[in-house]
Amino acid sequence: MQNENFQQWLSQATELTIYQKKQAFNELSDETHQALTEEQLGEVSYCPHCASSKFTHWGQSHNLPRYRCKACLKTFNVLTGTPLARLRHKSLWLPYSEMMLESSTIRKAASELGIDKNTVFRWRHRFLISPTLHKPEHLTGIVEADETFFLESHKGEQGLTRPPRKRGGKATKRGTSSEQVPVLIVRDRSGVTSEEILPRVTSSALADVLIPLLDADAILCSDGHRSYQAFARESGISHRPINLSAGNRVIDKAFHVQNVNAYDSRLKGWITRFHGVATKYLDHYLGWQRWLDSHTKSLNPQKFLREAVRANYDYQQLMLT
Ligand SMILES: [Zn+2]
């Protein structure tokens, strides 16, 4: 390029977005020389080959801190054995994590980072293993429960037998169609929230989710659906049904389902930006919103990325055992 043209080209650099600058930087510097640091990716706590917790630092490999296991003598890094190891453009993970916190669409992220939409899609769902895997395990005190429904969707899957639904189509009748996927949302008064996709809203499906989750002394508040009544009877969990249609919104000034209903509204509002999500990935989106909702005061892309990498590492171990 002629110097004059180059100067003209360079003068436009100030108009680049921060993501475009990052992309340009990667293009200009050899990407292979950019290391992701331990601080960005988090540390490992065990060997992915044999699960031993005894290992030492062992230089670097693939621009990542490397470790050597004292038990099996194999070397590894924080991505070893995970599908993340094979993904390209790792230096863009941090800016992408920031976009995850902004709930960016695939299209927007791909265009701002200058990478393929399929790549962003893979990152999104790899990163979302973290909130999906790390759900709260214990809810205490007054626990509000509510079931909500999502339209079943095979978005993105091949070989559909029925004509594709209009994007983001509306459900016909709440809860009654076989095309509705029920999700149980539970939230206690300290704000700890969890959710689970149910096969159907039955007392046994509720028991499968709620018994391991609820403290024995918890008091369950629900809209009074008969499945909750049956579940409470069978499990011995205290239950305060709130009959909303009869106008009893709050019982004894304490028992209501307003927090879980508000959470449900935020979830439904938030998820509309994706114009219908594939049922196959519904749990990822539920986890994503739960993560955002519970970190409103501490949204931090570095923390998000570290948790994502760590979850992929743990998930890999889980699959092997
Ligand atoms: Zn080992």
Q: How far, in Å, is the centroid of ligand 1 from the Cα of 68? A: 8
Spatial separation of the C-alpha atoms in residues 284 and 311, rounded to whole Å = 13
Instruction: List the structure tokens of 20.
Output: 């475009």
- What pLDDT digit, counting tens, does each position of 162-175 carry? 555 555 555 444 43
Q: How far, in Å, is the centroid of ligand 1 from the Cα of 109? A: 37
Q: How far, in Å, is the centroid of ligand 1 from the Cα of 31? A: 30
Which residues have a Cβ under 8 Å from the Cβ of 212 and sit 6 or more positions away? 137
Q: How far, in Å, is the centroid of ligand 1 from the Cα of 24? A: 39
Percent of the chain clearing pLDDT 90 (strictly above): 53
Q: How far, in Å, is the centroid of ligand 1 from the Cα of 53? A: 8
Q: How far, in Å, is the centroid of ligand 1 from the Cα of 137? A: 29
- What pLDDT digit, counting tens, does each position of 296-306 carry? 888 889 889 98
| Domain layout of the chain by residue ranges | 16-132, 136-299
Residue 143 in contact with residue 206, Cβ under 8 Å?
Answer: no
Site of tokens 């149910």: 198
* DSSP one-letter code for 60: E
Is the dihedral angle over the CA atoms 308, 291, 195, 221 positive or is it negative?
positive
Spatial separation of the C-alpha atoms in residues 107 and 116, rounded to whole Å = 9
Q: How far, in Å, is the centroid of ligand 1 from the Cα of 201? A: 44
Closest by CA to 64, choosing from 27, 83, 39, is: 39
Work out the average pLDDT over 21-36. Answer: 62
Q: How far, in Å, is the centroid of ligand 1 from the Cα of 85? A: 18
β-bridge partners, 147: 184
Q: How far, in Å, is the centroid of ligand 1 from the Cα of 7? A: 54
pLDDT band at 32 (very low <50, low <70, confident <90, very high): very low
Phi/psi for 86 (5° steps) reads -90, -10
Site of tokens 């990152």: 123
Q: How far, in Å, is the centroid of ligand 1 from the Cα of 279? A: 37
Q: How far, in Å, is the centroid of ligand 1 from the Cα of 274? A: 42
Q: How far, in Å, is the centroid of ligand 1 from the Cα of 70? A: 7
Asked whether the predicted pLDDT for residue 200 surpasses 80, the reply is yes
CA distances, 143 to each of 137, 146, 218 (Å): 13, 10, 7
Work out the average pLDDT over 19-48. Answer: 71
Q: How far, in Å, is the centroid of ligand 1 from the Cα of 321? A: 14
- What pLDDT digit, counting tens, does each position of 38-80 carry? 777 777 888 989 989 999 999 887 778 899 999 999 999 888 8
C-beta atoms surrounding 176 within 10 Å: 10
Q: How far, in Å, is the centroid of ligand 1 from the Cα of 15? A: 49
What is the per-residue burial (b if ≥16 Cβ within 10 Å, else e) of 98-118? bbbbeebbeeebbbbbebeee
| Order of strands, sheet of 75-76, starting from the edge strand that comes earlier in the sequence | 55-61, 64-69, 75-76
Asked whether the predicted pLDDT for residue 33 surpasses 70, the reply is no
